[in-house]
Chains A and B, each alone.
Chain A
């Protein structure tokens, strides 16, 4: 198990090393900047894209730089309903980030708890849970998410279930790997002999020690949840069209691509890629620093 070998070092050393990699630092800045843009979208965006009264169909599908009825320049053009694309992207980022983080957080909690509990309990329960997880991991996440989303129908809540369902297994396996290494250590035995309850030992002692590898998995999983959400919305089984995420925006522009109106699909796509890529680069660097097998 690679994960079990991962050890946190002092937080100070971690940041110093992280700062020596300019690409990773730049990526981290991008993640922070995009998150801030998404949080403050209502203050930054020139238009509220959900306010149907503020939209004019006359302004639909205009190229970047067009000055619309609202009196401001649509720097990225407008979409098929006359929405300012820049505003729509900011609001879309908000939804995409929200979905990714929520699904990631739920999957993280379930995975951490189930994984470390399985490692602690051991025996048949452990074998059964891990067999189930292995089985699920052998199915591609996109297929699971697609099927669950299709079965449950459109909606934010349904989408989070679908994303969580397709991702929790990664967390279970990682937590299990890290926790089974911890379970054999003397401090666990010492804690149990005091005696402390099993639940207390799992949540207070084993869980915190499984966090570093879980955090690495979490960065990658949040990025993949965001991109999964976009894909599902693109296929029409994700979010309802009333609250367009980035995937919906791209999907809405697809039909205009062939007639040369490239901006409707391209700009939301670029926003999505920049976000997902920045998260992945940060995650990659963190993993690199936490993997002792590469430190020789």
Chain B
């Protein structure tokens, strides 16, 4: 078990380093940040001074080493556009995205898993067919279009919910959260629902196909023969067995929800990380792009690691042996 954890950590570290190189190089080839930084009528001296100040005249590997050195000391540089440290900029936007993503995942699991188990338990009834059809709909309809429809129905036609923005936020431990206030919650409903639909369909389908396969196994036949009632079978056996793929998805989805939030945040003008990265790409704000991509990769690697470890706890087969 310990060897397994150590090996996975080592792999994760290696991946992070490779990722940072790829991201750094990828972002380096896009556009020339000098044109963004310096106005065309600046004198040659000022131009030269700024280039040296940001270290843009050095070869790329040296820039990378400087970047990594600063990174280890917790410094990701300053945004070219906002002229503030990137760490602060990201930290100021992070709670909004986190709040949105958490809400979306909770919605998706709370609704998706029970519906999915039901659909897998009675696959031939009409409610199950309806659930499965709805999940195909949720998969097929692009998130951004559902967002538009939600705005049209709830904000334009009915006028009951706001079309965008974040609403009032209260500070808890110095971090602004909007879900405790009434306007904050109102602003949160539409984007969170929008973001959760895709995950919900995924949870439904995973839970349904898992349940369906497990219901055909001998485990269930014997449990039934032993006289265990159906609800207990579902809770004790089915839910436990399908929890393995669900935990993976749950973990991975938290990361992908943050990534998907790019779309939802754009539509609902939610002031989170997604809007920040879109803006930084259009304005070629390199430090912000690199920092965002690094943060997302780090997040995914951590999540993968956590999922692997959770597997080891949930599935005894993985605990023995070398885990792979």
Seen from chain A, the residues whose Cβ lies within 8 Å of a Cβ on chain B are: 135, 138-140, 142-143, 146-147, 150-151, 153, 223, 227, 230-231, 234-237, 247, 250, 254, 257-258, 260, 262, 265-266, 269, 272-273, 276-277, 280-281, 284, 293-294, 296
**A235-B266, A280-B136, A281-B136 known; A294-B145 Cβ under 8 A:** no
Residues in A neighbouring B296, C-beta threshold 8 A: 143
Majority secondary structure, B binding face? helix
11 CB contacts below 8 A, A to B, read A138-B255, A138-B304, A139-B256, A139-B300, A142-B262, A227-B142, A231-B143, A231-B144, A236-B278, A257-B152, A294-B213
C-alpha gap A221/B297 in the complex (Å): 23
Residues in B neighbouring A236, C-beta threshold 8 A: 278, 282
Contact (Cβ within 8 A) A235 B278: yes
Contact (Cβ within 8 A) B252 A234: no
C-alpha gap A242/B26 in the complex (Å): 27
Residues in B neighbouring A234, C-beta threshold 8 A: 142, 144, 263
Q: Indicate the size class of the contact surface on chain B.
A: 35 or more
Contact (Cβ within 8 A) B255 A258: no
B162 to chain A, nearest CB (A): 12
Residues in A neighbouring B141, C-beta threshold 8 A: 273, 276-277
Question: What is the 8 Å Cβ interface bit string for chain B, positions 8-49, against chain A (1 contact, 0 not)?
Answer: 000000010000000000110110000000000000000000
**A235-B278, A236-B282 known; A294-B148 Cβ under 8 A:** no
Residues in B neighbouring A223, C-beta threshold 8 A: 140
Contact (Cβ within 8 A) A258 B260: no
Residues in A neighbouring B212, C-beta threshold 8 A: 294
- B293 adjacent to chain A (CB < 8 Å): yes
Residues in B neighbouring A250, C-beta threshold 8 A: 144-145, 148
C-alpha gap A265/B150 in the complex (Å): 13
**A254-B148, A260-B156 known; A277-B256 Cβ under 8 A:** no
Q: Which residue of B lies closest to A229 (CB)?
A: B142
Contact (Cβ within 8 A) B151 A257: yes
Q: Which residue of B lies closest to A253 (CB)?
A: B148
Residues in B neighbouring A258, C-beta threshold 8 A: 151, 155-156, 163
Q: Which residue of A lies closest to B30 (CB)?
A: A151
- B137 adjacent to chain A (CB < 8 Å): yes
**A231-B142, A235-B266 known; A140-B255 Cβ under 8 A:** yes
- B281 adjacent to chain A (CB < 8 Å): yes
**Of the residues B139, B145, B300, contact of A138 by C-beta under 8 Å:** B300
A151 to chain B, nearest CB (A): 5
